[in-house]
Structure 1
């Protein structure tokens, strides 16, 4: 699961790290506690170049009757993403990178839930494997996204039974390449090494109640 995350990096640092071309219409506001239905920054590839984008978090497939489905589709299970109707078309051609400074997960012990903040040990941004879609309702156009999840690595297994798919910089081109094969993409959808990340206990007062995962 990935139900809350932060992105507080400076724009100049994001541009340098992800090597994207700036767009005049791109708006970015750092957010310490980003939740489903809010807008998340992402990186997409168009005509061989990377660009920043902003998507509503919670993917709305083109066939949706309304936008409420997004509250159930902010995560996509990597094991079935290429088969599920809500995600399979986006998996073919609308893949993106979703940057994060950290993500949050809650460990349940009895009746209590202890939140953890997970970051990269080297201080670089986390990069989630994402998908995006466009949904139109009359004159309204919403572009939305989802974060892929996988089984937990050894570190995360003590906290939760799912974790986001975290991509390394060496995999960015492969994930964004529209001509990449399904088999090649599936090889990326696995837990990152435990020593890539660290998890720290934090105060639960920083959060509202977390939504359930997909």
Structure 2
């Protein structure tokens, strides 16, 4: 699973890496400990061009009665994403890239949990495979997102039994393409190579310090 991550990249670096066109209404605030229900930056494609977007983290499907479901849908299992009612439509037509500087996971050790910070070894941003949706209640419109997860690679298996789906830059066009075939999309929903990432144990005190935006 992925329940916490950071994004502290400079905006011009994100724009250069993801090749998106800026929007005047896009607001970006770096966050060292982004949690479900908070605003997450994402990249979407519209008419062949990429744009930045802000989504509430925790996907709220259109049929939801209220926003609380988002606390259960901040992750989507890649093995069933094309079947689950909450994610099926989004998987078909509302896919996005969710950038991160790092993500956090906790390894159980007896009664204690050791936090780890996971980053790309090459220093590039991590790119999660994401889905987004629009939910409306009266005049209120909420756009929200989820991060897809998969089985762990060799590195992550020692820490947790799930990990986020991490896309490479060569995957971006396929993932964002509204006409991409389902088979092509499913080929991307796999663990990344173990040597792509590093996992460093961090103290609880350091983690608390990193929680500030």
3-state SS in 1 of match to 2:104: strand
Shift of 1:203: 1.2
3-state SS in 1 of match to 2:103: strand
Shift of 1:157: 0.1
Q: Distance in 1 between matches of 2:184 and 2:201?
A: 36
Q: Distance in 2 between matches of 1:132 and 1:164?
A: 16
Q: Distance in 2 between matches of 1:114 and 1:22?
A: 39
- 2:153 corresponds in structure 1 to 153
Q: Distance in 2 between matches of 1:106 and 1:59?
A: 23
Shift of 1:207: 4.2
3-state SS in 1 of match to 2:80: coil
When the two structures are aligned, how many residues end up with a matched partner?
A: 208
3-state SS in 1 of match to 2:28: coil
Kindly report structure 1 stretches of 4+ aligned residues shifted beyond 6 Å: none
1:36 aligns with 2:7: no
1:133 aligns with 2:133: yes
3-state SS in 1 of match to 2:73: coil
- 1:8 corresponds in structure 2 to 8
3-state SS in 2 of match to 1:15: helix
Q: Report Cα offsets for 1:149-174 as digits up to 9, x if no partner.
A: 00000000000000000000000000
1:111 aligns with 2:111: yes
In structure 1, runs of 5+ residues without a counterpart are 209-214
- 1:88 corresponds in structure 2 to 88
Q: Distance in 2 between matches of 1:48 and 1:66?
A: 33
Taking structure 1 as the reference length, the TM-score comes to 0.96
- 1:171 corresponds in structure 2 to 171
